Structure 1
Amino acid sequence: MNLHPAMLDWPVTADDDRGTALWSSDAIALATGGTASTAFAVSGCAIDSREVMEGDLFFALKGETADGHRFVEGAFARGAAAAIVDRPVAYPHVLVADTNLALEAMGRAARARVAAQIIGVTGSAGKTGVKEALFAALDRSSRGRAHRSVKSYNNHVGVPLSLARMPERSRFGVFEMGMNHSGELAALTRLVRPHVAIVTTIAPAHIGHFSGEEAIAQAKAEIFEGLQAADGSAGGVAIIPADNAHYPLLRAVAERHASRIMAFGRSADADVRLLDVVPAMGGGSLVTADIAGNKLCYTVAQPGDHWVINSLAVMAAVLAVGGDLGAAGLALAEMEGLAGRGARHRLPAPDGDGSGEALVIDESYNANPASMRVTIAQLGATPAARRIAVLGAMKELGAGSDAYHAALAEPLLDANVDRVILVGDEMAVLAEALGKTAGSALARPGQVDHVASAAQAAECLAGYAPCGGDAILIKGSNSVGLGALVRALTIRER
C-alpha cells in the first residue's frame, strides 16, 4: 500500500517538555488556590461519580439538592486518582473553599496554558452537530491534537469541565455553549475566550424565557463578547448565518467585537456560499460551495438541508483557524448521526414491503419548532413504505406553545406521514388540528394517537410497527423521555 510521506512522518520524541499527565497536584493547587494532601497526577476530570474512569480527578460539586461529597467513596471505587473537596477525605485530594469555584478556576487555567485555536459554537439548533463535525475535521488534520466538549456539556458547569479536560498540547479546542436566559452566554464566552465564535441559527428555542426571537438573537450574540485575536488582544472571527432573519442584528453585534465577520448560507453576500447541492448516494448531499472565492465540492453524509447549511459554518470555521479544508470535507463525508440528534438505526422487521428491516431516525434529544419542521421534512424525503412520526412535546415555548404545536400539522401533511403518535399534554392542539384536516389520511380514525407518556407511546407503536419498509421518526424535548423508546427499539438493531 502506498502511503503519503506525511502520514509516515510521525514524531518519535516529544517536541516539548510538557508532562504526559493532564494535571499534576501542584498545577491543580496553583489553579484553585487549594492545598494538595499529597503529590499525584490525573489523566481526566469528572463531576459524576458514575462516569469516573481510572485516573480521573473527581470534583465533589454542590448543587441545590445534592452534595458531591456523598459520592467521593464511589468515585474512588471506580478508579479516581484524586478529588477536589471542601473538607478533608481519606484519599488524595486538593482542599478548596468552594468546589464549584474551583472547577471554574481549573477551566480558566486550562484555557490560559494552551497555545491552541479556540472555537465557540452556539445557536438555537445544530450546535452539537457543528461542534462534532469541527472536532472531527481538526482532529484529523492535527493528528489527534484537537479537543472538544463532549455530549452537550454547554452550561455553567459543562463548559468549565470541558475546558479543564483540555490537554496542554491541544492545537484546537471546540466548545459548545448554550443558554436559556439572557446573560448566560456572556459569562461562558469570557471563560472560553474563543478566537472564532459561531452562531448556527436563530429559532424560537427556549422562547418562553424571552420576549421574542429578537431577544433570543440578542442573547446568542453575547458569544461575540468573549472574542479575542490570536495574540490575546480584542478581535477574532465571528461566523453568522447569512440567510437568517436576524442576520442584521447578529452582524451589528459582531461588528462591535470581531476583527473579521464571515457569513455562511445561500445569500449572494455570504463569504462561504452554497452554489449547488444534489443528493448523494446513501442519503446525504453532494455540496458545491464558494469558500472565500475558491470553489470546493464535498459530500455531507448526514441527510437534510440543515446539515448542508451547517457544513458551510464548519468550513468557515476551519478556514478561520487555518485548518485543512480537505480534511474537513472527509470528516463531513464520514460523519455518522449522533445519538438523539439524527442517528439512523436499521432494525430487523417482518412483513411490510418484504425488505426485512425498518429505519428508526433518532432525534429524541431535543426539539423546537424549527428543528421539528426540518426533521419532519427529512422524514418526508426518506423513501419508505410507511412513514411514522412519534413526536414529543416541545418545552419552554411560553404563551405561544399552543400555536407552535398546532403549526406542525402542515409539515406532517406535506411529508405524507401515515401515522402519528403525539406525546404530552402540549400535543393536544396538534392532535385536534390533524383530526380536523379535510381530505387527509391523518384525519381518519386510528391514524393519530395522543398519549401522556413515552411508555404509552412505546405500547402504541408496538401495536403497528415496525414492519419492513417503515421509516420511524422519534423526536421531542429531552424531558419527554423518548430516548428510552429509541433504546428499547434498537436492542434489536442489526
Structure 2
Amino acid sequence: MSALWTAKDAAAATGGRAQGDWSVTGVSIDTRTIQPGDLFVALSAARDGHDFVAQALEKGAAAALVSRIPEGCAPDASLLVVDDVLTGLEALGRAGRARMGGKVVAITGSVGKTSTKEMARIALAGQGVIHAAEASYNNHWGVPLTLARMPADADFAIIEIGMSNPGEIAPLSRLARPHVALITTVGAAHLEAFGAIEGIAREKGAIFEGLEPIGTAILPEDLPVTQILRDCADAAGAVVIGFGKDGMARPLRIEPQNGALACRARITGESVGFTLATTGQHFVMNAVGVLAALSAAGADLTKAAAAIGDWQPPKGRGAVEALGGIRLIDDAFNANPTSMAAGLATLAGLPGRRVAILGDMLELGADELAMHRALATDPAMDGIALVHSAGPRMRHLHDALPEEKRGAWRETAAELAADAAALVRPGDVVLVKGSKSSRISAVVDALRAHLAQEEKKE
C-alpha cells in the first residue's frame, strides 16, 4: 500500500515537528480499531488521547500526532509534534483536500445524511477512486479526519457534514471545499439549539459558503423553508438545482416490487430508471438528490442510477428484515418529527398487523411535548394497529392516541424491552424508532433475543 503521508509531508502540512523518518498508510483516532501503518491522532475528549499513544505504537501505528511527548514512549518514537492536536488534524485535512484533484460532494440535512452519503458512495462504483466518510463522521473532528484520510488520487470524495449548534457547518464546508453541496431536507432536529425551523434552515444553508467557485447547490424544493436555502445558495454564487415533486430533479414513477421500489426520475432533463432495495418511499427523494449531485459533479448518470440499486439502508436506519415470524423495521438510530413521519409512512405501507414501538424524540425545544402528541394525528396512524412507547415525552403520544391503538407505555426503553415477548405476535410488521439517546434500540435487541429463542424451540 502506498504512503498516505510521509513524515516530511505531514510536518509541512501541519507546521509540526516530525520525529523520525516514517510514512503512514491511514489515520486513526481509536486504538481499538487502529491498523498497522496508521497515524494515531491523540485527540482529547472524554479521555486524553496522549494516554493511548504508547498502546497505539505497540499495536503497529507507524507514528502519532501529539502536542507533547507522551509518557511511556521511547525517546526515538515516531511522532509528529504540533501545538494543538485538533488544529493539527484540521491542517492535515486541509492539505489532504488541497492535493486532491477530483470532485468533492458534501452532504448535510436534518434527516438522512449518512444513508444518503452511502447512497452516493455506492452509486459511484466503477467510476474511479472513491473516498467517503466512515459511519457518521460528520463533526468538528470527523470532517478533518475524513479529509486527512483521503487518497491524493481520489476521483470523487463524499463528505458528510453535521451540526448540533449554530455556526458549525460553514467552517467544515470551507475545510471540505465541495464542488457540489446537497441538503437532504430541513426538519425539527436540534431545535432546542436554534429556537425555530428557520434557524435550522440557515445553518444547513451555510454548507454553500464553502463551495468552490461556480459550485452547485442541490436543495429540496418542497419545504416551507426552501426560499431560505435558495437565498443561502444565491449568496454563495452557486448554480441551484432543486429536487422535489416539481424540481429540476424529480421522481416520475415509483412502483413497489417484491420488497423494493422500481423508480424513474428526471434529472436535469435526462430520464433514468433505478431500483432501491427498500420499501421506504422517502428514500426515493434522497436518491433523486444524490443522482442530481453526482451528475453535477461530473459522474456518469446512467452508471450511477444502475449502481444505486446495490445500496441498502444501514443498520438501525430503516432496513426491513424478516425476523422469527415478524418483519422488523429497525430505525432506532435517530428520530425527529420529519423522520418519524417517514418511518410511520413506511410501516403503514406494508402488509400485516402494523405495530410501532417508539422512543422519545430529543432536542426538540419548547414544543417537544406538542410534537410528540401530534404524532397521534399523523395520516399514517390510520393504518397502524398498535403503538407501544417508552419515555416521558412519548407518554404524551400514548395519552393522545385512540384507546384501541394504545399499547404498552413504560418510563424507560429498558422496561419496555423487558416485555418484548408480549409486544408482538407472528405475522406482525414492526417499526422500532426513537432518538439514539432514548435507547429504544434495547427493544430491538430484546426482540432479536426472544425470537431467536422461539426459533430454537421449534
TM-score, scaled relative to structure 2:
0.93
Deviation (angstroms), 1:460:
1.8
CA contact (8 A) 1:405 1:430 kept: yes
Structure 2 unaligned spans of 5+: none
Query: Is 1:305 matched with 2:281?
Result: yes
What is the correspondence of 1:415-430 to structure 2 with a 5 Å cutoff?
Answer: 415-430=382-397
Which of 184, 187, 209 is matched with 2:193 structurally? Answer: 209
Would the aligned equivalents of 1:119 and 1:195 in 2 still touch at CA under 8 Å? yes
* Residue correspondences, number: 447
What secondary structure sits across from 2:378 in the alignment? Answer: helix
In structure 1, distance between residues paired with 2:411 and 2:227? 41
Matching residue's letter, 2:65: I
* Distance across 2 between alignment mates of 1:464 and 1:251: 45
Matches within 5 A, 1:172-251: 172-228=156-212, 234-251=213-230
2:428 corresponds to: 470
Question: Residue deviations 1:350-388, cap 9 Å, x none?
Answer: xxxxxxx2222111111000100110111111112x322
Q: Deviations over 1:217-262 (max 9, x none)?
A: 111100000111xxxxx22000011111211121122112134111
Q: Amino acid of the residue matched to residue 407 of structure 2? A: V
Q: State the alpha-carbon separation in 2 of the partners of residues 38 and 484 from structure 1.
A: 47
Partner of 1:255: 234
Alignment of 1:302-451 (within 5 A): 302-348=278-324, 357-384=325-352, 386-411=353-378, 414-434=381-401, 437=402, 441-442=404-405, 447-451=406-410
Q: Distance in 2 between matches of 1:174 and 1:304?
A: 23
SS at match of 1:382: coil
C-alpha distance 429-259 of structure 1, shift in aligned 2 (>3 A) = closer
Structure 2 distance, partners of 1:317, 1:213, is 24
Give 1:82-161 correspondences, 5 Å limit: 82-88=63-69, 89-90=73-74, 91-142=77-128, 145-161=129-145
Letter in structure 2 aligned against 1:127 = K
Residue 147 of structure 2 is aligned to residue 168 of structure 1 = no
**Structure 1 counterpart of 2:38, from 48, 56, 65:** 56
| 8 Å CA contact retained: 2:345, 2:380 | no
Please give the alpha-carbon distance, in whole angstroms, between the structure 2 residues aligned to 1:285 and 1:365.
23
Change (3 A) 1:257 1:362: same
The residue matched to 2:329 in structure 1 has which SS?
A: strand
Question: Percent same amino acid among aligned pairs?
Answer: 41
Shift in Å at residue 421 of structure 1? 2.2
Contact persistence 1:376–1:415 (CA under 8 A): no
Question: Which deviations, in whole Å up to 9, do the C-alpha atoms of 1:401-430 show, x marking residues without a partner?
Answer: 000011111238635323322121111211
User: 1:264-275 residue pairs with structure 2 within 5 A?
Assistant: 264-267=243-246, 270-275=247-252
- Is 2:26 the partner of 1:44? yes
Matched, 1:78 2:59: yes
Bigger mean CA deviation after superposition, 456-465 or 159-168: 456-465
What amino acid is the match of 1:35?
R
**What is the aligned partner in structure 2 of residue 16 from structure 1?**
none
Contact 1:238-1:258 within 8 A present in 2 as well: no
Does the CA-based 8 Å contact 2:276-2:312 persist in structure 1? no
Distance in 1 (alpha carbons) for counterparts of 2:132 and 2:242 = 23
One-letter code aligned to 1:181: N
CA-atom RMSD in angstroms: 1.9
Structure 1: distance between partners of 2:137 and 2:380: 36
Residue type of the alignment partner of 2:440: L
Relative to structure 2, which stretch is displaced further, 44-53 or 215-224? 44-53
Q: Which residue of 2 aligns with 1:11?
A: none
CA distance in 2 between partners of 1:77 and 1:474 (Å) = 42
Compute the displacement of 1:276 (Å). 2.1
- Contact kept in structure 2, 1:387 and 1:416, CA below 8 Å: yes
Preserved CA contact (<8 Å) 1:133 1:331: no
Q: CA deviation at 1:394?
A: 0.6
SS at match of 1:390: strand
CA distance in 2, matches of 1:168, 1:490: 43
What is the deviation of 1:326? 2.2
Counterpart amino acid of residue 416 in structure 2: A
Cα deviation digits, residues 425-478 of structure 1 (max 9, x gap)? 1112111112xx2xx521xxxx4222122221211222243x432212111111
1:413–1:116 CA distance, 2 compared to 1 (3 A): closer
Letter in 1 for 2:234: E
The answer for the alignment partner of 1:486 in structure 2 is 444
Conserved 8 A contact 1:390-1:457: no
Specify the code of the residue in structure 2 equivalent to 1:205: A
Measured in 1, the distance between the counterparts of 2:37 and 2:116 equals 30
**What letter is aligned with 1:448?**
G
Q: Is the 8 A contact 1:46 1:52 kept in 2?
A: yes
* Aligned twin of 1:7: none
Given that 2:19 and 2:79 are in contact with CA atoms closer than 8 Å, whether structure 1 keeps it comes out as yes
Whole-Å Cα distance in 2 between the matches of residues 81 and 483 of structure 1? Answer: 37
- Give structure 1 stretches of 5+ with no counterpart: 1-18, 229-233, 349-356
Secondary structure in 2 matching 1:408: helix
Q: What is the aligned counterpart of 1:69 among 28, 37, 50?
A: 50
Which residue identity does 2:231 align to in structure 1? A
